[in-house]
C-alpha cells in the first residue's frame, strides 16, 4: 500500500474538499484542540471540512456526569448537547472557526420548528459557514415524535426551513428508526442537499456496583467500530433510495472502512470516535483511503470511485 | 528541554473573560499519537512503573497527563479496553524519559501493566493544565492517596522538594511511598506508618501551620476531605481530579465535573483545579 | 466470587427452569451437538430450556454462502432460516428433542397469518413442547410491513393465534424498529405470555477484494457483545412499558452481562453468539450469575432478584 | 489412546435415510472449551507449527479439526479476532500431544502465530468427520496445497505411509513439505521442485496408475482441479474443504457448502467430503 498516495479532491453539494474525510459532529472541538496542540492543529488539520458540535438556540449545560461508558469496540455517550447557545456561538466561536483552513459545516438542532427556523436563518447569512447540518434526532416537543424517525416530520420541517437559505442543507438521520430510507427520501423530496448517517444507536449501561443506570442521562448513544456493520447497511440502503450525496459515518477506523462506505454509496466519510484514540486519525485515514483507491481496481457501478 | 514550548493561555475559547479555574499551565502536545518505547518496567508493591522514551514529545508540566494505550489494545476482560486511558506523568527524566505509575484496576490498566521493556506505549500528550506555583511564599504541602501520588512525585522534583503526606490502603500499595522523598505514610490497616487516613496527617500539619499551599491527588473522598480541611483554614489547595475520559483533548465533552461556574471539561480545564472552584470534589462515576 | 453458588430456579410463564439461562433461537442445535459431543451434551446440558431454531411451514435451504462475517466484538449472519419445514420437524426432530433434560420452546415463523396459524396449531397439540416463540421479524408478504416493527401487525397476528393454544406464547421482537416498546405493549395487550429481545440488528459487510456485498443474503444481522448496550437499553425500556416477563438476550458473555439484563427487568436471559466460542458457555454463565447474586446486595425495586 | 471414543453415526439428525457424504468417521469432543498448553512453537518457512498438550482430549481422527483461540483474543487488526478459528490437526503424537500448522493470513492466525511455549491454546474439538480408509485396495495418494498439507500429515502417519504431492506458492512456504515423508513438491515460481501446480504432478501420477484413492486438501481452485481430474478417471477422492466457521459444532448453520444433495454444514457433515458429492469444490467466500 502506498502510504503517500495523493488525496482525491471531492465535492459535496458545491463545497470543494481536499479529500473525502471530515469529522462527525460532536467528536472534535477545533477550538479546544488548538489550545492543546497549538498551531500544529492548523498546519496539519486532519479533516477536509470541519463539522461543529450541535448548536441549539438556548445555551445547554448538557447531561450530568458520568457521560461515558466503554463497550466492546465502542463507546456509549450521553453528552446531552452542551453548547453555549446560538448567540454566543455566533459571537465567540464562529470567528475563531473561520480561521480553520477548511470549510465549516455548522450542525444545528431545534426542539421546535421555530427554533430550527431561527438557527437556519442566523447561520444562513454568515459567510464563514459553508453548509448546515440539521440534527433531527431529538423528539419534537410539540408532537412527541422523534423528528428524524418520522418521514412526515422531516418533510414538514424541511418545507419550512429549506427556503430560508441558499447554503447546502445536510439532514443527519437517526439510525433508531424502522425505515431510515423512507426518512432519507422524505428529506430529499423536501429539498435536502445531502443526508448524513449514522448518528449513534441508543444504548445503555448499568453501574456494576449499584445496578442503576450508569449514565447521568440514563441512556446514551453507541458509536465506534461496534456500529460499523449497521452503518454500512444503512448507508447502502439509503444510497439505493436517494440520489443526493451521502455523508457516511459510523465506526470508521481506517482507509478500508472509509472505502467500504464509499463503495456502498457515500460521497464523503466522517470520522468520530476514532479521533478520540488518535487526534490525527483523520489524516491517517485519508492517506490510507487514497492509497487503497490508487492501488485498487475497485469501481462503483463501473465508474471510477470518488476517493 | 529542547523541543519544549510553554504557553500560558486563558481559557479563551469556552470561558472568555473568566479567570482560569486552575493556576496551572500547559505544555502543548504534538498533534498525533506516537509510540514511546518502554525502557523499564518496575514493580512497587501493588503498582507498576513504566519508564519510556519519548524523543518526539516536549517535557511536560507537573500535573499534566497523557492518554496511554498499547498495541493489541482490546481483547481483555469484557472485550475491552477500546479507548486510551489517562495517566498523570509520574516523573520526567533527562533525555526525554517519562515515567507512569499504574495500578491494575481493569482491562486497560491490566494491559498496560503487562507491558515489558522493549514494547511500545502509544501516547498522546502532555495534556491538561498542571499545578501552579505556591502563592505568597506559602510552603508547598503534597497530599496523595494511592495512585494519586503520581503527579506529586514530579511536582516534588520541580519544586526542588516539598513535604509529602501519602495514604494507602495496605502495605503492598504503601510501597508507592518510595516514589516520593521523605513522605509521611498512613495506611488504612496500619501496616505501615499512621493507622488511618492521610487527611489525619494533613489536619495535624495544617493545625501546626496553615500557611501552606496544598497540592492533592487521590480518591474522591480523600480530595473532598482535603478541600473541606483547607477551606476551613483558608489554605489554598490545588486538586488534581479524575473523571472518565474518552479523548483527553476536549473533543468528546465526556469528562465534565461540576464547579461553582458550571461543568468544566476536566481534560482541558483541569485535571488540576483550584479547590475554591469546587462545591465538592466527589465526582460521579469516579473511584473504584 | 463463589463459582459453585447454587443456581436459582426460575419460572417463565408457568414453565419451571433450573436456572435463568437459556439459549437464543438459532444459536444451538442440540441434535447436531449430540453428534459432536455425545451423551456429555445431555449430562451437562448448558441451558435451563432449549429453544429451537426457527421452524417454518415449508422447508428452506437458507441463504447462499457466505453466511458469516466477523465484526469487532460481534458477528453478522445471514443464515436465512434453513430448516426442514413443519412436517419433517414434527416427525423427525421433535421426538429427538423430547429426550433433552429441559423444557423445549419451539420458535416458529410464518410469512402470512395463515402460516402462523398452521404452525401454532400444529405445535399446540404436542406435549413435547413447553412453549412457543413467535419470530415476527420477517416482512408480512401481504402488507409488506415488517410484522415485528409495527404494533398493528403484531396485534392482528396475536388476535388470530392467541386463542389457538394454551401454551405460553413468547413474542420475539425485532430491534430494528423505531418504537420497540409500542410493539411489546401491543403484544402484551393481545395476549402474549412474554416477549423476547433482542433479535439481531441489521448489518452488512463488503468483500474487501471486490467491494460487493460479502454475504450471500446481501445484508445480515449483527449479534454478540457489539450489540450488548443496545440490548440493555431496549430491555430496560420494554420492562418499563409492559408487565409480562421478558426473555432478554444480546451479547451476553458472562454472569455480569446476564445480571445487567435481569437488573434491567428480564426474567430469563438467553445466550447466543457466546456459545459459538464455547459450547458450554451457558453453564459457565449460569454459575457466574448465581455467584454474583449470592454475593451481591443488589436487588431490583427493593425485591430480591430472580437469579 | 485411553480416553478415546470412536463412533460411526449416520447423519441421522438432518439427513436420515441418506448415506453419509463422507467415508470418514468422528471421535467425540469433550463438551466445552479447554486450555492446552503450548509445548513448542516451531517455524517452517512461512508457517508456524504449535505443538500442545491436550491431556483431557481424545485422540482425533485424521481430517478432524479443532476450533482454536488464545487468551487476549481480540484487539488485533480491525478490532478482531472475536470468534475461534478452525484448524486441521496436523499430527497427533503420543501422550496427548497435538500439533497444528498455521499460516498468518489475518488477525486470528496472526494472534495464534504469536503464541509461545508455555502459553495456552483454547480449543474445542476434535470436530467434524475425518478421512475414510481407501476402498478396493486402492493406493492412497495425498495431494496438498499450502496449509492444506496439515490433515495429510496425520493421515500419512495413520496410513503408515502414502505418496504425497504437495504444492506451494514459493520457497518459504515449501518448507512445509518437510512435514510429510517423501513428498514431491511443486511451487508456483519453480523455486523448489516442479515449476507449476501440484495438480500437474497428480495428472502424471494418475496417468501412470489411476487405481488410487486421492485425499486432497488445499485452496478451492486446487481442489476443483483434483475433483475434475479424479472424476475423469473415476478415481475416488476425499476432499477436505474449508469454509468460514463461527462455531464448528453445527450450532450456527454458517459454514454451508453446496453439494449435489443441497447445502451441508461443513463442520458436522465435513470437512472431508467425497468428491462425487460435489458439483464444484469452489466454495463462495473461501481462499485468500
Ligand atoms: C487525569 C487522570 C490521571 C490519572 N492518573 C493515573 C495514574 O497516574 N495512575 C493510575 O493508575 N491511574 C490514573 N488515573 C486513573 C486511570 O485512568 C484509570 O484507573 C483507568 O482509566 C482505568 O481503566 P481500566 O480499563 O483499567 O478500568 P475500567 O474498567 O475502565 O474501570 C475503571 C472504573 O471505570 C468504571 N467502569 C467499569 N466498567 C466500565 C466501562 N465498561 N466503561 C467505563 N467505565 C467503566 C468503574 O467506575 C471502574 O471502577 C488517572 C485518571 C485521570 C482522569
Ligand atoms: C476445517 C478447516 C480447517 C482448517 N485448517 C487450517 C490449517 O490447518 N492451517 C491453517 O493455517 N488454516 C486452516 N484453516 C483456515 C483458517 O481457519 C483460516 O485461515 C483462519 O480462519 C483465518 O482467520 P484470520 O483471522 O487469520 O483471517 P481472516 O481475517 O478471518 O481472513 C480469512 C479470510 O476470511 C475472509 N475475511 C476477511 N475479513 C473477514 C471478516 N471480517 N469476517 C469474516 N471473514 C473475513 C477473507 O476471505 C479472508 O481471506 C482451516 C479452515 C477450516 C474451515
Ligand atoms: C461523544 C460524542 C458526541 C457526539 N455529539 C454529537 C452532536 O453533538 N451532534 C451530532 O449530530 N452527532 C453527535 N455525535 C455523533 C457522531 O457525529 C457520529 O454520528 C457517531 O459518533 C458515529 O460515528 P463514529 O462511530 O465514527 O463515532 C456524537 C458522537 C459522540 C461519540
Ligand atoms: C447464527 C445465528 C442464527 C440465528 N438464528 C435465529 C433464528 O433462527 N430465529 C431467531 O428468532 N433468532 C435467531 N438468531 C438470533 C438469536 O437468537 C439472538 O436473538 C441474537 O443472536 C442476539 O443474541 P446474542 O448476541 O447472544 O447472539 C440467530 C442468531 C445468530 C447469531
Ligand atoms: S475526555 Fe473528551 S472532552 Fe475531556
Ligand atoms: S460453523 Fe457453525 S454450523 Fe458449522
CB C220 within 8 A of CB A230: no
C224 lines ligand 4 (CB under 6 A): yes
Mean pLDDT of chain D: 92
Rounded to the nearest 10 degrees, how much is the dihedral formed by the CA atoms of A244, A250, A255, A257? -90
* Closest among C60, C6, C50 to C28, alpha carbons compared: C50
Model confidence pLDDT, tens digit, residues A39-92:
999 999 999 999 999 999 999 999 999 999 999 999 999 999 999 999 999 999
Residue keyed to cell 504503601: B174
B255 lines ligand 5 (CB under 6 A): yes
Model confidence pLDDT, tens digit, residues C21-60:
999 999 999 999 999 999 999 999 999 999 999 999 999 9
Model confidence pLDDT, tens digit, residues C280-295:
999 999 999 999 988 7
Domain at C112, CATH number: 3.20.20.70
Task: Establish if D160 belongs to a structural domain.
Answer: yes
Q: Whose CA is closest to atom 13 on ligand 1?
A: B87
The verdict on a CB contact (< 8 Å) between B79 and C254 is: no
Chain D neighbours, 3+ Cβ pairs < 8 A: A, B, C
pLDDT of A8 reads: 84
Grid cell, residue A253, equals 477506523
For chain D, report the end-to-end CA distance as a whole number of angstroms. Answer: 36
Across residues D17-42, what is the average pLDDT?
A: 86
Range of the domain at D268: 3-24+130-277
Task: Establish if D232 belongs to a structural domain.
Answer: yes
Task: Establish if A5 belongs to a structural domain.
Answer: no
* Closest among C175, C266, C255, C253 to C221, alpha carbons compared: C175
Element (H, E) at B266: helix B266-269
Task: Establish if C68 belongs to a structural domain.
Answer: no
Residue keyed to cell 449499584: A210
CA geometry: angle B281, B134, B143, nearest 5 deg: 45
For residue C256, which residues of chain B lie inside 8 Å, CB to CB? 78
Range of the domain at A18: 10-62+80-203+224-304
Task: Establish if C231 belongs to a structural domain.
Answer: yes
Ligand nearest to the CA of D64: 2
One DSSP character per residue, A104-172 reads: EEEEE--SSHHHHHHHHHHHHT-TTEEEEEEE--SBPTTT-SBGGG-HHHHHHHHHHHGGG-SS-EEEE
Predicted-complex ipTM score: 0.95
For residue B79, which residues of chain C lie inside 8 Å, CB to CB? 73, 225, 253
Model confidence pLDDT, tens digit, residues B162-184:
999 999 999 999 999 999 999 99
Query: Do D95 and D218 fall into the same domain?
Result: no
Across residues D57-78, what is the average pLDDT?
A: 96
Residue keyed to cell 436420515: D16
pLDDT of A1 reads: 39
Chain A neighbours, 3+ Cβ pairs < 8 A: B, C, D
Q: When comparing pLDDT for B19 and C231, which is higher? A: C231
Q: At what angle do helices A281-295 and A255-263 cross, to 10 degrees?
A: 60
Out of D126, D149, D169, a domain closes at D126
- State the number of CA atoms in the 13 A half-sphere of D271 facing the CB: 31
Would you tell me which residues 218-237 of chain A have a C-beta closer than 8 angstroms to some C-beta of chain C? 219, 222, 224-230, 232-234, 236-237
φ/ψ of residue B133, rounded to 5 = -60, 155
pLDDT of D117 reads: 98
Q: Tell me, what DSSP letter sits at residue C24?
A: P
Task: Establish if D224 belongs to a structural domain.
Answer: yes
Query: Do D221 and D118 fall into the same domain?
Result: no
Judged on CB neighbours under 10 Å (0-12, 13-18, 19+), C302 is exposed
Model confidence pLDDT, tens digit, residues A164-216:
999 999 999 999 999 999 999 999 999 999 999 999 999 999 999 999 999 99
Task: Establish if C142 belongs to a structural domain.
Answer: yes
For residue C279, which residues of chain D lie inside 8 Å, CB to CB? 31-33, 124, 247, 249, 251
Residue A38 pLDDT > 60: yes
* Closest among C119, C151, C118, C166 to C14, alpha carbons compared: C166
Q: For residue A122, count other CB atoms closer than 10 A to its CB.
A: 20
Q: At what angle do helices C151-161 and C180-189 cross, to 10 degrees?
A: 20
For residue B73, which residues of chain D lie inside 8 Å, CB to CB? 75
Task: Establish if C212 belongs to a structural domain.
Answer: no
**pLDDT over 70 percentage in chain B:** 91
Task: Establish if D282 belongs to a structural domain.
Answer: no
Query: Do B224 and B160 fall into the same domain?
Result: yes
D250 Cα nearest atom in ligand 6? 3
C307: helix, strand or coil? coil
Separation of CA B4 and ligand 5 centre (Å): 24
Query: Do B164 and B68 fall into the same domain?
Result: no
D86 Cα nearest atom in ligand 6? 1
Which is it for strands A129-135 and A169-172: parallel, antiparallel or unpaired?
parallel
CB D4 within 8 A of CB D27: yes
Model confidence pLDDT, tens digit, residues A252-304:
999 999 999 999 999 999 999 999 999 999 999 999 999 998 876 555 444 44
CA distance D98 to D87: 11
Q: Is the Cα torsion angle B98, B104, B107, B111 positive or negative in sign?
A: positive
Q: For residue C49, count other CB atoms closer than 10 A to its CB.
A: 26
Grid cell, residue B50, equals 513504566
The verdict on a CB contact (< 8 Å) between B78 and C225 is: yes
Structural domains in chain C (count) = 1
φ/ψ of residue D277, rounded to 5 = -80, -10
CA distance B191 to B210: 29
The verdict on a CB contact (< 8 Å) between D78 and A253 is: yes
D120: helix, strand or coil? strand
Task: Establish if B282 belongs to a structural domain.
Answer: no
Grid cell, residue C37, equals 459431543
Query: Do D159 and D222 fall into the same domain?
Result: yes
At residue C305 the predicted structure's pLDDT band, cuts being 50, 70 and 90, is low
Compute the count of residue pairs across chains C and D with CB atoms less than 8 Å apart.
Answer: 149
Residue A123 pLDDT > 90: yes
Q: Whose CA is closest to atom 12 on ligand 4?
A: C25
Q: When comparing pLDDT for A46 and A306, which is higher? A: A46
C172 lines ligand 4 (CB under 6 A): yes
**pLDDT over 70 percentage in chain C:** 93
CB D226 within 8 A of CB D203: no
Long-range contacts of the stretch A295-302 (C-beta < 8 A, 24+): A295/A1, A295/A2, A295/A5, A296/A259, A298/A259, A298/A263, A298/C210, A298/C211, A300/A262, A300/A263, A300/A265, A300/C211
D64 lines ligand 2 (CB under 6 A): no
B250 lines ligand 5 (CB under 6 A): yes
Give the residue, out of B105, B128, B255, with the most ligand 1 atoms within 8 A of its beta carbon, to mutate for a pocket test: B105
Structural domains in chain B (count) = 2
Identify from B82, B264, B288 which residue to disrupt to test chain A contact, counting A C-beta atoms within 10 A and taking the largest count: B82
C273 lines ligand 4 (CB under 6 A): yes
Q: For residue A143, count other CB atoms closer than 10 A to its CB.
A: 12
Identify from D74, D78, D80, D106 which residue to disrupt to test chain A contact, counting A C-beta atoms within 10 A and taking the largest count: D78
Model confidence pLDDT, tens digit, residues B71-82:
999 999 999 999
Residue B240 pLDDT > 50: yes
Residue C278 pLDDT > 70: yes
Ligand nearest to the CA of C275: 4
Q: When comparing pLDDT for D283 and C114, which is higher? A: C114
Q: What is the pTM of this model?
A: 0.95
At residue B233 the predicted structure's pLDDT band, cuts being 50, 70 and 90, is very high
B107: helix, strand or coil? helix
Query: Do B110 and B239 fall into the same domain?
Result: no
* Closest among D109, D244, B89, D75 to C76, alpha carbons compared: D244
At residue A147 the predicted structure's pLDDT band, cuts being 50, 70 and 90, is confident
Chain C neighbours, 3+ Cβ pairs < 8 A: A, B, D
CB A30 within 8 A of CB A50: yes
Task: Establish if D285 belongs to a structural domain.
Answer: no
Out of B106, B126, B146, a domain closes at B126
pLDDT of D95 reads: 78
> Would you call A293 a catalytic residue per the annotation?
no
Separation of CA B254 and ligand 3 centre (Å): 12
Residue of C nearest to B80 (CA): C73
Query: Do B221 and B137 fall into the same domain?
Result: yes
Name residues contacting ligand 3 (CB within 6 A). Answer: A 24-27, 53-54, 75, 77, 79, 81, 107, 135, 172, 199-200, 223-224, 227, 249-252, 271-274; B 252, 254
Q: At what angle do helices D198-208 and D220-233 cross, to 10 degrees?
A: 10
Catalytic residue among A138, A181, A182, A280: A138
CA distance D260 to C103: 36
The verdict on a CB contact (< 8 Å) between D79 and A73 is: yes
Task: Establish if B286 belongs to a structural domain.
Answer: no
Give the residue, out of C23, C24, C75, C221, with the most ligand 4 atoms within 8 A of its beta carbon, to mutate for a pocket test: C24
Residue D277 pLDDT > 50: yes
Model confidence pLDDT, tens digit, residues D75-127:
999 999 999 999 999 999 877 999 999 999 999 999 999 999 999 999 999 99
Separation of CA D93 and ligand 3 centre (Å): 54
Task: Establish if A71 belongs to a structural domain.
Answer: no
Model confidence pLDDT, tens digit, residues B37-92:
999 999 999 999 999 999 999 999 999 999 999 999 999 999 999 999 999 999 99
CB C133 within 8 A of CB C107: yes
CA distance B115 to B100: 12
Model confidence pLDDT, tens digit, residues C158-208:
999 999 999 999 999 999 999 999 999 999 999 999 999 999 999 999 999
Q: When comparing pLDDT for C84 and D6, which is higher? A: C84
CB B78 within 8 A of CB C253: yes
* Closest among B17, B13, B58 to B265, alpha carbons compared: B13
Task: Establish if B105 belongs to a structural domain.
Answer: yes
Residue C306 pLDDT > 60: no
- Edge-first strand listing for the sheet containing D163-168: D194-195, D183-187, D163-168, D139-145, D212-217, D237-240, D272-274
Grid cell, residue A43, equals 498546519
Residue C300 pLDDT > 80: no
Domain at D99, CATH number: 2.40.30.10
Query: Do D115 and D153 fall into the same domain?
Result: no
Query: Do D153 and D185 fall into the same domain?
Result: yes
Out of B126, B144, B167, a domain closes at B126
Query: Do D260 and D217 fall into the same domain?
Result: yes
Provide the β-strand partners of residue D256: D265
C61: helix, strand or coil? coil
pLDDT of A5 reads: 59
pLDDT of D7 reads: 33
Domain at B236, CATH number: 3.40.50.80
Amino acid at each position: 500500500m502506498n502510504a503517500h498516495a495523493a488525496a482525491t479532491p471531492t465535492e459535496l453539494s458545491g463545497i470543494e474538499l481536499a479529500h473525502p474525510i471530515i469529522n462527525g459532529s460532536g467528536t472534535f472541538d477545533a477550538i479546544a484542540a488548538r489550545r492543546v496542540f497549538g498551531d500544529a492543529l492548523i498546519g496539519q488539520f486532519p479533516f477536509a471540512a470541519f463539522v461543529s458540535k450541535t448548536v441549539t438556540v438556548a445555551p445547554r449545560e448538557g447531561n450530568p456526569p458520568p457521560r461515558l461508558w466503554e463497550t466492546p469496540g465502542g463507546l456509549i455517550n450521553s453528552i446531552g448537547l452542551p453548547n453555549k447557545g446560538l448567540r454566543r456561538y455566533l459571537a465567540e466561536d464562529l470567528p475563531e472557526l473561520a480561521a480553520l483552513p477548511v470549510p465549516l459545516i455548522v450542525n444545528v438542532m431545534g426542539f421546535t420548528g421555530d427554533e430550527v427556523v431561527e438557527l437556519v436563518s442566523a447561520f444562513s447569512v454568515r459567510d464563514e459557514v459553508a453548509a448546515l447540518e440539521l440534527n433531527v434526532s431529538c423528539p419534537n416537543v410539540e408532537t412527541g415524535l422523534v423528528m428524524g424517525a418520522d418521514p412526515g416530520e422531516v418533510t414538514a420541517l424541511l418545507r419550512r426551513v429549506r427556503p430560508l437559505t441558499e447554503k447546502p442543507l445536510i439532514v443527519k438521520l437517526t439510525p433508531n428508526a424502522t425505515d431510515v430510507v423512507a426518512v432519507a427520501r422524505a428529506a430529499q423530496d423536501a429539498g435536502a442537499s445531502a443526508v448524513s448517517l449514522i448518528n449513534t444507536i441508543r444504548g445503555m449501561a448499568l453501574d456494576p456496583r449499584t445496578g442503576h443506570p450508569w449514565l447521568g442521562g440514563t441512556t446514551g448513544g453507541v458509536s465506534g467500530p461496534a456500529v460499523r456493520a449497521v452503518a454500512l447497511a444503512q448507508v447502502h440502503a439509503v444510497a439505493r433510495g436517494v440520489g443526493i450525496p451521502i455523508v457516511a459515518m459510523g465506526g470508521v477506523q481506517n482507509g478500508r472502512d472509509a472505502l467500504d462506505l464509499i463503495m456502498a454509496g457515500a460521497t464523503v466519510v466522517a470520522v468520530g470516535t476514532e479521533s478520540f484514540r488518535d487526534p490525527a486519525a483523520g489524516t491517517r485515514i485519508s492517506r490510507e483511503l487514497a492509497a487503497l483507491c490508487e492501488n485498487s481496481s475497485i469501481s462503483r457501478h463501473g465508474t471510477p470511485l470518488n476517493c | 528541554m529542547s523541543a519544549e514550548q510553554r504557553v500560558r493561555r486563558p481559557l479563551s475559547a469556552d470561558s472568555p473573560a473568566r479567570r482560569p479555574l486552575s493556576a496551572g499551565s500547559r505544555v502543548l502536545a504534538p498533534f498525533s499519537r506516537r509510540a514511546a518505547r518502554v525502557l523499564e518496567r518496575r514493580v512497587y508493591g501493588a503498582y507498576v512503573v513504566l519508564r519510556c522514551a519519548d524523543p518526539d514529545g516536549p517535557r511536560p508540566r507537573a500535573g499534566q497527563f497523557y492518554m496511554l494505550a498499547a498495541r493489541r489494545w482490546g481483547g481483555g476482560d469484557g472485550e475491552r479496553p477500546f479507548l486510551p486511558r489517562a495517566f498523570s506523568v509520574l516523573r520526567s527524566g533527562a533525555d526525554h524519559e517519562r515515567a507512569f505509575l499504574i495500578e491494575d484496576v481493569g482491562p486497560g490498566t491490566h494491559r498496560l501493566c503487562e507491558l515489558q521493556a522493549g514494547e511500545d506505549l502509544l501516547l498522546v500528550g502532555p495534556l491538561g493544565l498542571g499545578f501552579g506555583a505556591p502563592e505568597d511564599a506559602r510552603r508547598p504541602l503534597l497530599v496523595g492517596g494511592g495512585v494519586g501520588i503520581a503527579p506529586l512525585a514530579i511536582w516534588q522534583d520541580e519544586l526542588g522538594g516539598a513535604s509529602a503526606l501519602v495514604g494507602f490502603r495496605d502495605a503492598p500499595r504503601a510501597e508507592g511511598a518510595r516514589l516520593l522523598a521523605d513522605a509521611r505514610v498512613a495506611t488504612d490497616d496500619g501496616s505501615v506508618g499512621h493507622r488511618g487516613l492521610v487527611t489525619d496527617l494533613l489536619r495535624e500539619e495544617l493545625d501546626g501551620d496553615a500557611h501552606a499551599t496544598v497540592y492533592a491527588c487521590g480518591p474522591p473522598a480523600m480530595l473532598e476531605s482535603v478541600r473541606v480541611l483547607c477551606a476551613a483554614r483558608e489554605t489554598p489547595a490545588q486538586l488534581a481530579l479524575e473523571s472518565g475520559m474518552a479523548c483527553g483533548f476536549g473533543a468528546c465533552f465526556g469528562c465534565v465535573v461540576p464547579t461553582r461556574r458550571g461543568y468544566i471539561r476536566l481534560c482541558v480545564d483541569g485535571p488540576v483545579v483550584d479547590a475554591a472552584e469546587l462545591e465538592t470534589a466527589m465526582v460521579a462515576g469516579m473511584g473504584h
